[in-house]
Structure 1
Amino acid sequence: MSGDGALGMLINRKADICIGAMYSWYEDYTYLDLSMYLVRSGITCLVPAPLRLTSWYLPLEPFKETLWAAILLCLCAEATGLVLAFKSEQALYVLPSYREGWWTCISFGVCTTFKLFISQSGNSKAYSLTVRVLLFACFLNDLIITSIYGGGLASILTIPSLDEAADTVPRLRFHRLQWAANSEAWVSAIRASDEALVKDILYNFHIYSDDELLRLAQDQHVRIGFTVERLPFGHFAIGNYLGSQAIDQLVIMKDDIYFQYTVAFVPRLWPLLDKLNTLIYSWHSSGFDKYWEYRVVADNLNLKIQQQVQETMTGSKDIGPVPLGMSNFAGFIIVWILGSAIATLTFLLELALTYILKEMI
């Protein structure tokens, strides 16, 4: 109320009307009069674009959980069939003094099943036609499974999987994304909200100067959201601190954090308010509001940036071809390290058992 600001000038009768990005704020209504609404103004955010997923569970992604369970059940059935067939073969074709016990049969069935599953050959000799046919059936079954798995894995590496972007209000809270603006006016309309969702996202809201926002937007990897105004006819009011390079790393949120209708403020009991409201009504009815939005955007805003932002509304942001690196094979490396560690421990255990048995003999 110093008289230097727009609303203060109305209080001190230095101006008759104030039009800008001002909403129907109750605190100001106690001192000033409001016109009918001018435009719908939606407050939303440009948030960091989703990143490519590179995780340890990449080898498991080609199949869903239910399919992995079905494959495990199929392998158990194969192993059970091979154990019973090998045991029957021992009873029918091998002399009693040379027959193997149940432990050897189980070892044969389990090891052969997993060897076939990873396309490795076995070293056991089959005597009966039953075991041979069963081995051939298991080989064909595992060949089909591994072929499908290889095709699914190739598609995942070719078409990258992207992380979830904080492009909705619930996701903005879930990801605890820091978002910022250059004025408290961007969130003053929701400061008094009692909703837990609004309180949580306001906790991560920060106010920076334009220079600080420019520095944050020029980072190599943008990790903060920037407030923008969604205009009623498909355009966005974007600060000058967001350049084309920063927009390439951002996507627009699918919904608004909140919206209100902008109004014109006038002094209390201003005699021309009714005529102003009639003019605004005629302005809406004639379609001039749409015309002027397009005209002002064309004259004052960067059309390239407008197009960049609108392209992010069509879906996931295209990050383009990305060369494969070691991070894409982290899952396979972990499996290899785990397998090598288990094999090493098993080898050491076998050496220890052999040494103990020799000492006992």
Structure 2
Amino acid sequence: MELQLVTEYLKHHNSTPQFIFNDVEEQYWGALYPNWTGSGLMGKLLNDEADIIFTAFYTWEFVYHYLDLSKSYIRAGISCLVPKPRIQSGWFIPISPYKTSMWIAVFINITYNILIAFVLATFRQKLFSPRNISDRSALFLLFNTVWIIIKISFGQSLQKKEKFIIGHLVLIVLVLEYLILDSGYYSGLAVTMTVPRYETPINTALDLANGDVTIWGIFEDWVLSIKNTDDVIYNKITKKYRAVNEAKLRELTKQDYNAFFMERLPFNNYGINDFMKADVIENYHLMEEDVYWEYTLFYLRKSSILTPSFDGFLLRVIESGLPYAWQKQAVYEFMDLNIQKLAAGLDTKKAPHGIKKLKFFHIKGSLAVLFIGFSLAMITLILEVYVYTPEKKRKKKRKRIE
């Protein structure tokens, strides 16, 4: 679209364009230096090799000291193609029904119930069996209290009957409490096994800054607008950004945990570089928000005589609505429409629906918990048979001898 704007401007003034290009890949945009020299496209303009330059130039403050900035003609949102969120691992399915805050509340509740039950049991023992109180009996009482609370929390029945009214009341409250918690957990577990859960998607600049991804692009200029800000989020994004050539970027698109800068243009169009092909773009999704946005414009020589007339021409073209038509035409001629549709989420593919058979993926976390429980039970049984029971028999023999 920039080429069309410049061409029409020159036609309007009966001028013939002469185009120059910057073929040095590392210096497409270029740089400006305090001694009034430069490199790349900006250097060519500063050295009077060109009258107007254009590409994805934004309203950079440092450029104003050396060059003229035209009126802006388009808003460009700088966003990222980021990896699609993956389905959460099946190992975490047993803990997925509750959020982290809920699990913390559950463990605090269990600890509180153990403490209350232990205090009541200790008070009862002091009241009815004061002679049997010792450090060892207190430790056994604590262990027994923990065991009772755990059994109730898992919906297991108790073997011993409670003789006192206060004990009955405490047990009734605990059973009702854990009945509600267990029902909520089992309902959530059933939902988790039938409705897939995904990792947290990257949709905002904060998500991108905190996400476990490396950000890639062809030029350092992608982060030029946010490089020197004091914003913590932008500082993190700048540190995670790497600039490499297109061949390397093509390889990186096939790997995990990589994000790539792109432009979100008006009229639902996207400026996506050629290294992003149709065979890999389906592994990515477009962030809902822009990382940042800028106004796109042209650069002219400092105090150029062309600046006022060119600005007036830009404003008249924008008022006419021609940029919309020119941008659509450029997209149709020079961009992969399939890539555009996939990036915008306009593809017609639908996710498969219907009932799915229960697979090992859904239950491997629960089986892991079951295996851990069986292993602990087996270890406890071995210790009881080969350590605790023989030791108990030896003590009985010593008492008889004494």
Give the TM-score normalised by the residue count of structure 1.
0.73
SS at match of 2:234: helix
Quote the residue 2:70 is aligned against: 35
Q: For the residues of structure 1 that align with 2:289 and 2:361, how far apart are their CA atoms?
A: 33
Superposed, 1:201-350 pairs within 5 Å as 201-219=237-255, 222-311=256-345, 326=360, 328-350=362-384
Deviation at 1:244, TM superposition (A): 1.9
Q: For the residues of structure 2 that align with 1:159 and 1:334, how far apart are their CA atoms?
A: 21
Quote the residue 2:211 is aligned against: 175
Deviates more, 1:287-296 or 1:147-156: 147-156
Q: For the residues of structure 2 that align with 1:290 and 1:200, how far apart are their CA atoms?
A: 35
Quote the residue 1:152 is aligned against: 188
Q: For the residues of structure 2 that align with 1:8 and 1:255, how far apart are their CA atoms?
A: 33
Q: 1:17 aligns with which of 28, 46, 52?
A: 52
CA RMSD of aligned residues (A): 4.4
C-alpha change, 1:346 and 1:311, in structure 2 (3 Å) is same
Deviation at 1:338, TM superposition (A): 2.5
Q: For the residues of structure 2 that align with 1:274 and 1:141, how far apart are their CA atoms?
A: 77
Q: 2:226 aligns with which of 187, 190, 212?
A: 190
- Is 1:355 matched with 2:355? no
CA contact (8 A) 1:180 1:207 kept: yes
CA contact (8 A) 1:54 1:330 kept: no
Q: For the residues of structure 2 that align with 1:197 and 1:66, how far apart are their CA atoms?
A: 29
CA contact (8 A) 1:43 1:228 kept: yes
CA contact (8 A) 2:208 2:237 kept: yes
Which digits, 9 at most, give the CA deviation of each residue in 1:106-128, with x for residues without a partner?
A: 99999899779767789999xxx
Q: For the residues of structure 2 that align with 1:107 and 1:24, how far apart are their CA atoms?
A: 69
SS at match of 1:206: strand
CA contact (8 A) 1:167 1:251 kept: no
Which digits, 9 at most, give the CA deviation of each residue in 1:216-264, with x for residues without a partner?
A: 1134xx3200110111332210011111232211111222222221111
Quote the residue 1:26 is aligned against: 61
Q: 2:89 aligns with which of 51, 54, 70?
A: 54
SS at match of 2:81: strand
Superposed, 1:77-116 pairs within 5 Å as none
Deviation at 1:154, TM superposition (A): 2.4
Deviation at 1:300, TM superposition (A): 1.9
CA contact (8 A) 1:176 1:201 kept: no
Quote the residue 1:89 is aligned against: none
Q: How many residues are aligned here?
A: 340
C-alpha change, 1:324 and 1:53, in structure 2 (3 Å) is farther
Deviates more, 1:246-255 or 1:234-243: 246-255
Superposed, 1:128-143 pairs within 5 Å as none
C-alpha change, 1:354 and 1:216, in structure 2 (3 Å) is same
AA partner of residue 207 (structure 1): A
Deviation at 1:143, TM superposition (A): 8.3
C-alpha change, 1:109 and 1:16, in structure 2 (3 Å) is closer
CA contact (8 A) 1:35 1:266 kept: yes
Unaligned runs of at least 5 residues, structure 2 = 1-19, 23-40, 122-141, 162-170, 398-402
Quote the residue 2:3 is aligned against: none
Q: For the residues of structure 2 that align with 1:243 and 1:32, how far apart are their CA atoms?
A: 36
Q: For the residues of structure 2 that align with 1:291 and 1:341, how far apart are their CA atoms?
A: 70
Quote the residue 2:139 is aligned against: none
With a CA cutoff of 8 Å and minimum separation of 6, indicate the structure with the bigger relative contact order.
1
Which digits, 9 at most, give the CA deviation of each residue in 1:160-213, with x for residues without a partner?
A: 111112322112221242111011221223222233322221111111110111
CA contact (8 A) 2:110 2:149 kept: no
Quote the residue 2:126 is aligned against: none
Q: For the residues of structure 1 that align with 2:205 and 2:244, how far apart are their CA atoms?
A: 21
Q: For the residues of structure 2 that align with 1:189 and 1:140, how far apart are their CA atoms?
A: 59
Which digits, 9 at most, give the CA deviation of each residue in 1:106-161, with x for residues without a partner?
A: 99999899779767789999xxxxxxxxx9xx999988876664443222122111
AA partner of residue 234 (structure 1): N
AA partner of residue 71 (structure 2): M
C-alpha change, 1:71 and 1:149, in structure 2 (3 Å) is farther
Q: For the residues of structure 1 that align with 2:236 and 2:160, how far apart are their CA atoms?
A: 64
Which digits, 9 at most, give the CA deviation of each residue in 1:332-351, with x for residues without a partner?
A: 23322331232123213332
Deviates more, 1:342-351 or 1:278-287: 342-351
Give the TM-score normalised by the residue count of structure 2.
0.66
Which digits, 9 at most, give the CA deviation of each residue in 1:245-290, with x for residues without a partner?
A: 3221111122222222111112233323222111111122222222
AA partner of residue 11 (structure 1): L
CA contact (8 A) 1:166 1:177 kept: no
